[in-house]
Amino acid sequence: MNPVSISYEGEISIVKISNPPVNAISLEVRNGLLDAINELEKKEEVKAVIICAPNRTFLAGADIREFGKNLGGPTLSEICNKIEKLNKYVIASLHGTPLGGGLEVAMACHFRIATPNTKVGLPEVLLGILPGAGGTQRLPRLAGIEMGLEMMLTGKHVPSQEAIENGIIDKIFEHTDTISNGINYAKELIQNNSKIKRTSENFSKVKSEEDYSEIINEIRNKYKSKHKNLFSPNAIIESVQQGLKLEFYAAINNERKLFEDCLYSPQREGLIHTFFSERAVNKIPELKTAKSKDIKKVGVIGGGTMGTGISMAALNAGLSVIMVERDEELIKKSFKKIESTYQRNVDLGRISLEEKNKLLGNFIGGTELEKIADRELIIEAVFEEMDIKKEIFTKLNKICPSDTILASNTSYLDINEIAKVTNNPERMLGMHFFSPANIMKLLEIIVGEKTSAETVATAFSLGKKMKKIPVRSGVCDGFIGNRILSKYLVATYHMVEDGASIYDIDRVIREFGCAMGPFQVIDLAGGDIGWATRKRKAPFRSKNDRYVEIPDRVCERGWFGQKVGKGYYLYGKDVKPLTPNPEIEEICKSERERVGINPKEFSDKEILDRYITALVLEGVKILEEKIAIKPSDIDVVYNNGYGFPRWRGGPMNYADKIGLDKILNNIKSYEKENSNFWSCPKLLEQLVSEGRKFKDLN
Ligand code: 3HC
Ligand code: NAI
C-alpha cells in the first residue's frame, strides 16, 4: 500500500504520510512523495499543500535500515528540491519528532507550523553521516550558521519554542490536530495572499559576503575532542563552509557527495549498529510476557559513591527517595554531594533554583532501615561483601511487604545466593549501575534463577524512567561487563609481565578509539577495588592459572590511582595529564626478574590483537552460557559502560568486521603458550566453520 495519500479540501490539498512506527522515509515513502508532488504540480486549482504524518510523529528521518543497500529510487534531496520549487504554498504541519530527513522535508516546505510538544533536530552526526537532503544548506539559512552547526554537530532535539525563536518554524498551534492546524494556516496564507517563502532564497541570516571563518573555527575547536576520530562532523562543517561559496544547487550536489562518502564509511555502519542494538536490548522474554509496576517510591541503602549517584538518578526521574546509611554524618555527606551537584546545574543554567529545591524536597535520609519499609523498590549499594549484603536483605525480608522489589547494585557477587535469604526470591534481582550513576547510561539488570518476569519488567521500566539503557544479564561473577573486563585485564597483565609497556598499552587502546586505556581506568576507579576482587578470588584460583603480581605490588604501596594522587600515573594540580609514575617501570622490571621472564617487544598490532581477542573470547563464553541473550547486548554494555568507541559498534560487531576466523586463529596461536587462559569456545569454532557472524545471532 502506498504510504503517501492525497486528499483535497477545496483548494487545499493534504498529503498524508503513514509509515509506522515513526514514519521513517523509506523507498516507498520517497516514491509516494514524488508521485504526490508530480500530481500536485499539475493541479493549478490547488493553492496550498499541507504535508503531515498524523500518527505518532512527523517523519523521524530517513529509514536507516535502508542505508548501504543501494535501493535506487529518487533521493530525498531531489524530492526536497521539487517540494521547494512548487508554485503554491507548501506547509509542513509538524508534531512529535521531525528529525533528520523529516526536518529536511519540512525546511524545503515554504512554511512550518508545529504543535507545542514538537522537537526538531538533525541528528545524523550520531549515525556517522551528515544531513543529506539539503539540511546543511537550509538549516543555516533559517537558524544562522552558529545555531545550525550546533544542531548538526550535537544532534540535539530542539523544542518548538526554541525552534520558533531561531526561525526554524513559523508558528505554534495549541491544537494537536495537525491537519486542521494546516488547513487553518493555509486559509490564512491564501486569504492574505502571502508571499511564498523558499528557504534557499532566504539570505537574512547567512550573507554570502560575510566572513564566517572565525565562528566556524571556534565551533570546530569546541567539538574537537568530542568528535575525535569521527569522520562526519568534519564533513558537516565542510558542507556548510562550501555552501557559503557555492550557488545553492551546487552546494546541494556537494552535500550529496559528502553524504555518500559518510554513507559508505565503516563509522556509519558501526553507529547504526549501535542505534539498533540500543533498541534491541528491550527484546527479552520477560518484556513479552510481563507487565511492569509503576514505581514512584525508591529506597537506597548506602550513601557512598554509588548510593549517592543512584539517588540522584532516581530524583532526576521524579521519584521520591529515602536513603539509609550507617550514621547521620554519612547521610549529611551524601546529601551535601547531591546538593552541590544540583547547585552546579543551577549555576550552569541547566535547572532553575526552584527545580533544584523540588528535587531535594523528594529526598529523605535516615539511619534506620525501618524507614524504607514503605518503598516499592529498594536498591542496596553498601560495601561489596556478601555477609553484609545478606544481613541487609534478611532484615528487608522481615520489614518490607512481600511484593517490595529488592535489588542489589553488587558488581560481582552472586545474586542467587543473596536471594536465598528472602522468602520470595522472585522479587529479588541485581540492578548494576555504573559510576557516576547519575551520568552513566548503562544499567545491567541481573536476572537470578528465581527472579520473576514482573520483577525484570519493572526494573527495565524503572531504568528507562531513570534515562538508563538497561541490558539483561544472567548471574555469573561480574555479569556481562565486569566479567569481560576481568578477562582482558588479565590478558593485559600477561603482556606487561612479558615485556609490554603499560603506557604503550594505554596509548594503543586510546588510538583504537577507547575513551581510556585500561591502566587509566584502573587509576580512575581505584586500584583497591580490583585488588579486593583478586583477594576474594584467590582461594578459587587454580595452580595452573598464570597470576601476575605487578598490580598487587602497586596496590601494596597504596598507589590506588587518582584518589590518592598516584597510581600507574601521577596526579595533582601541577602534574600534566598522563604523566607516568616513574616507579612503575621498576616494579615491572623486578617482577619480570622474580618470575624469570626475559622481556620481549610488543608491536602495537600485537597489543591490540591480544586485548580485543581476550575481550571477544569472554564475550563468546558469555553467549554460550546464555549470560547475555545476544551479541549486540554485549556491544551495548561495552559502548555505554566501558568507553568502547560507539562508531566501532561494540566489540562483537568489531569482531564481525575484522573476521571471526581471525579471532579464532589468534586464540589458537595464543593457546599454545597458555591453554588455560586461551581455551577456544565451541560456539566460535562453530560460527567460523559455518561462515556465520555474531550478527546472525542477534
Ligand atoms: N529508520 C528506521 N527505523 C527507525 C528509525 C529510522 N530513522 N527511527 C526509529 N526507528 C525504529 C526503531 O528502531 C524502533 O524499532 P523497533 O520498535 O523495531 O525497535 C522504532 O522505530 C521506535 O523507535 P524508538 O524505540 O527509538 O522510539 P522512541 O519513541 O523512543 O523514539 C525517535 C523515537 C525519537 C524518532 C527515535 O527513534 C530516533 O531518534 N530515531 C532516529 C532519528 C534519526 O536519527 N533520524 C535521522 C535519520 S538519517 C537521515 O534522515 C538522513 C537524511 O539526512 C537523508
Ligand atoms: P562506598 O564504599 O563508596 O559506599 C558504600 C556505603 O555503604 C558507605 O557509605 C557505607 O557507610 C554504607 N554502608 C555500609 N554498610 C551499611 C549498612 N549496613 N547500612 C547502610 N549503609 C551501609 O562503595 P560504592 O563504591 O558506593 O559501592 C557500593 C556497591 O556498589 C558495592 O557493592 C560495589 O561493588 C557496587 N558498585 C560500585 C561501583 C563503583 O564504581 N564504585 C560501580 C558499580 C557497582
- Domain parsing of the chain, residue ranges: 4-252, 295-473, 481-697
Does ligand 1 have an atom closer than 6 angstroms to the CB of 255?
Answer: no
For the chain, give the percent of residues with pLDDT over 90.
96
- Sorted by sequence, the CB contacts under 8 Å of residue 318 that are 6+ apart come out as 362, 465
Residue bearing cell 535500515 = 65
Q: And the C-alpha cell for 618?
A: 569472554
Q: And the C-alpha cell for 439?
A: 551520568
Does ligand 2 have an atom closer than 6 angstroms to the CB of 439?
Answer: no
CATH of 295-473, one of 3.40.50.2300, 3.30.70.1170, 3.40.50.720, 3.30.70.890: 3.40.50.720
Burial (CB count within 10 angstroms: exposed 0-12, middle 13-18, buried 19+), residue 422? buried
Please pick, among 84, 124, 269, 497, the residue that the annotation labels catalytic: 124
Determine phi and psi for 402, rounding to 5 degrees: -70, -15
Please pick, among 45, 78, 104, 449, the residue that the annotation labels catalytic: 104
CA-closest candidate to residue 65, choices 21, 31, 18, 26: 26
Does ligand 1 have an atom closer than 6 angstroms to the CB of 100?
Answer: yes
The answer to whether the bond into 21 is cis (omega within 30° of 0) is yes
3-state secondary structure of 9: strand
Q: Which ligand has its closest atom nearest to the C-alpha of 281?
A: 1
Query: How does 507-537 read in b/e, with b if 16+ C-beta sit within 10 Å?
Result: ebbbebbbebbbbbbbbebbbbbbbbbbeee
Kindly tell me if the per-residue pLDDT of 208 is higher than 80: no
pLDDT tens digits, 556-608? 999 999 999 999 999 999 999 999 999 999 999 999 999 999 999 999 999 99
| Domain 481-697 = CATH 1.10.1040.50 | yes
CA 127 / ligand 1 centre spacing (Å):
11
Higher-confidence position of 543 and 277:
277
Q: What is the mean pLDDT of residues 192-203?
A: 97
CA distance 180 to 316: 37
CA 386 / ligand 2 centre spacing (Å):
12
Choosing from 17, 22, 276 the residue with most ligand 1 atoms within 8 A of its CB, the one to mutate for a pocket test is 22
Q: Residue 225 — very low, low, confident or very high, per pLDDT cuts 50/70/90?
A: confident
CA-closest candidate to residue 552, choices 566, 567, 533, 531: 531
CA 364 / ligand 2 centre spacing (Å):
18
CA 414 / ligand 2 centre spacing (Å):
16
**Ordered DSSP codes for 84-144:** HH-SSEEEEEE-S--BTHHHHHHHHSSEEEE-TT-EEB-GGGGGT---TTTHHHHHHHHH-
48-52, strands of its sheet edge to edge: 4-9, 12-17, 48-52, 89-94, 111-114, 171-172
Pairing of strands 119-120, 158-159: antiparallel
Q: And the C-alpha cell for 478?
A: 561480574
3-state secondary structure of 423: coil
Residue bearing cell 527472579 = 451
CA 334 / ligand 2 centre spacing (Å):
12
Using an 8 Å Cβ cutoff, are 56 and 20 in contact?
Answer: yes
Using an 8 Å Cβ cutoff, are 83 and 37 in contact?
Answer: yes
The alpha carbons of the chain give a radius of gyration, in whole angstroms, of 28
Residue bearing cell 594522587 = 565
Kindly tell me if the per-residue pLDDT of 665 is higher than 80: yes
Using an 8 Å Cβ cutoff, are 166 and 24 in contact?
Answer: no
Closest ligand 1 atom to Cα of 275: 13
pLDDT tens digits, 167-192? 999 999 999 999 999 999 999 999 99
Task: Look at ligand 2, atom 25, and give the residue with the nearest C-alpha.
Answer: 305
Burial (CB count within 10 angstroms: exposed 0-12, middle 13-18, buried 19+), residue 302? buried
Q: Residue 70 — very low, low, confident or very high, per pLDDT cuts 50/70/90?
A: confident
Amino acid 529: pLDDT: 85
Does ligand 1 have an atom closer than 6 angstroms to the CB of 96?
Answer: no
Does ligand 1 have an atom closer than 6 angstroms to the CB of 133?
Answer: yes
Q: What is the mean pLDDT of residues 32-51?
A: 97
Closest ligand 1 atom to Cα of 22: 21
Residue 165 bridge partners (DSSP): none
Is 124 one of the annotated active-site residues of the chain? yes
Q: How many CB atoms lie within 10 A of CB 340?
A: 10
Question: What is the separation, in whole angstroms, between the first and last Cα of the chain?
Answer: 29
**Ordered DSSP codes for 216-256:** HHHHHHHTTTTTTT-SHHHHHHHHHHHHHHS-HHHHHHHHH
Does ligand 2 have an atom closer than 6 angstroms to the CB of 307?
Answer: yes
Q: What is the pTM of this model?
A: 0.95
Q: Apex CA 181: angle with CA 179 and CA 187, to 5°?
A: 100
Q: What is the mean pLDDT of residues 467-493?
A: 97
H or E stretch covering 151? helix 145-154
Please state, rounded to an integer, the average pLDDT across all residues of the chain: 97
Q: How many CB atoms lie within 10 A of CB 368?
A: 9
CA-closest candidate to residue 332, choices 315, 308, 355, 356: 308
CA distance 34 to 78: 9
CA distance 319 to 311: 9
The CA dihedral of 396, 402, 405, 411, to the nearest 10 degrees, is 40
Closest ligand 1 atom to Cα of 64: 1
Choosing from 300, 301, 306 the residue with most ligand 2 atoms within 8 A of its CB, the one to mutate for a pocket test is 306
Q: Residue 1 — very low, low, confident or very high, per pLDDT cuts 50/70/90?
A: confident
CA distance 562 to 569: 8
CA-closest candidate to residue 476, choices 615, 630, 628: 628
Higher-confidence position of 536 and 56:
56
H or E stretch covering 444? strand 442-446
Architecture of domain 4-252: Alpha-Beta Complex (3.90)
H or E stretch covering 392? helix 386-399
Kindly tell me if the per-residue pLDDT of 442 is higher than 90: yes
CA 524 / ligand 2 centre spacing (Å):
17
Give the residue ranges of DSSP H helices in 542-630.
Answer: 550-556, 584-595, 604-624
Higher-confidence position of 1 and 177:
177
pLDDT tens digits, 114-141? 999 999 999 999 999 999 999 999 999 9
CA distance 44 to 83: 15
Amino acid 209: pLDDT: 77
Is 354 one of the annotated active-site residues of the chain? no
The CA dihedral of 291, 297, 301, 302, to the nearest 10 degrees, is 120
Determine phi and psi for 206, rounding to 5 degrees: -120, 110
Determine phi and psi for 431, rounding to 5 degrees: -125, 100
CA-closest candidate to residue 568, choices 619, 530, 600, 533: 530
Q: And the C-alpha cell for 641?
A: 559502560
CA-closest candidate to residue 612, choices 640, 578, 653: 653
Amino acid 50: pLDDT: 98
Determine phi and psi for 228, rounding to 5 degrees: -50, 135
Kindly tell me if the per-residue pLDDT of 210 is higher than 90: no
CA distance 354 to 348: 14
Amino acid 533: pLDDT: 87
